[in-house]
Amino acid sequence: MAEINFDALEELDQLNAASLNTRFAEVRNGINELPIDSMAAGALNENHIPSLVVGQASIRVGSAALTHSYTSTTYTVITRAGNDLEIDFGSDISLGTGNGVGGILVFCEVFARRLRNTTNADPWSYSGAKAFFRISAAPSSGGAYAAINRTERYFQALFEGPAGTPNYAGLAGTSQRFVIPIQTLITSSDSSTVRKIRVETKVAPDPGHGGDAQTLLLRESYLSAIVLRSSKS
């Protein structure tokens, strides 16, 4: 905490420009050295500095009724009816405190209805198949997407009948119905600029059943991005 020792004028002290300047300087220097702790919560509001949020965007693809399927074993963008689960910020966003943007906070939710063994009508009870999801970002309009690797998430779901009965007929046609959440903060350490972000998916075969191909069926999927301001613009 900066310390301001105001040296009060006493009787017989000289009252002149120099003595006043000394005291003004004490106050000025103390104020200039105030640490951030000097501010009460809420001291800086919309009348002083702009919002935390530079901008935001969100998109929804698919719905409860409008499903879309994936069979690729390499990552591909989630899309339905020509609409990618992708946000284009409209211009390249430079990340870093010197550029006015501290980071991009990204939230994603994908509603998976079913991961099904394509060979069999219903999932195996003991299935090692998985469906994968991740966030990728492109630095510019025509730039290549690069995966934010730490966002890779996947699920494996299997059915089991009473007392561990495999392939229980009563579960035929059952869907897994699983929501995959992804959160990430994209910073300058990921990319110096970001123009677009998107969500990608792929499936992996079940190694326990001869590598049967899989079909992933998705319902609605959401992607939201909040561009966060940095202290310096």
**Interaction with another protein in 43-82: which residues (CB under 8 A)?**
43-45, 47-52
Tell the residue number behind the tokens 């935001």, with chain if given.
56
d(CA 181, CA 178): 10
CB of 73 to another protein, least distance (A): 12
C-beta of residue 104 within 8 angstroms of C-beta of residue 92: no
Choose between 92 and 109: whose C-beta lies nearer to another protein.
109
Judged by CB under 8 A, the chain residues 164 through 203 that form the site for another protein are 164-165, 168, 171, 174, 176, 178, 180-185, 187
Binders of another protein among residues 204 to 233 (CB under 8 A) are 204, 207-208, 228-233
The residue range among 67-75, 86-94, 128-136, 138-146 that interacts with another protein, by the rule CB under 8 A, is 128-136
Q: Which is nearer to another protein, 88 or 171 (CB)?
A: 171
Please say which residue, 111 or 132, places its beta carbon nearer to another protein. Answer: 132
Q: Which of 57, 59, 77, 157 binds another protein (CB under 8 A)?
A: 157
What are the φ/ψ torsions at residue 27 (nearest 5 degrees)? Answer: -70, -45
In angstroms, the CA 32 to CA 166 distance is 72
Among 25, 34, 66, 146, the residue binding another protein under the rule CB under 8 A is 34
Q: Is 38 in the site for another protein (CB under 8 A)?
A: yes
Output the smallest distance, CB 151 to another protein, in A: 7
Q: Closest CB to another protein among 53 and 66?
A: 53
CA angle 226, 231, 233 (to 5 degrees): 90
CA 23/CA 13 separation, integer angstroms = 13
Cβ proximity to another protein, 6 vs 82, nearer residue = 6
The type of residue at 87 is: I
Alpha carbons within 13 A on the beta-carbon side of 3 = 2
How far apart CA 191 and CA 17 sit, in angstroms, is 55
CB of 22 to another protein, least distance (A): 11
How many chain residues touch another protein (CB under 8 A)?
Answer: 80
- In a 10 Å sphere around its CB, with 0-12 CB exposed, 13-18 middle and 19+ buried, how is residue 24 labelled? exposed
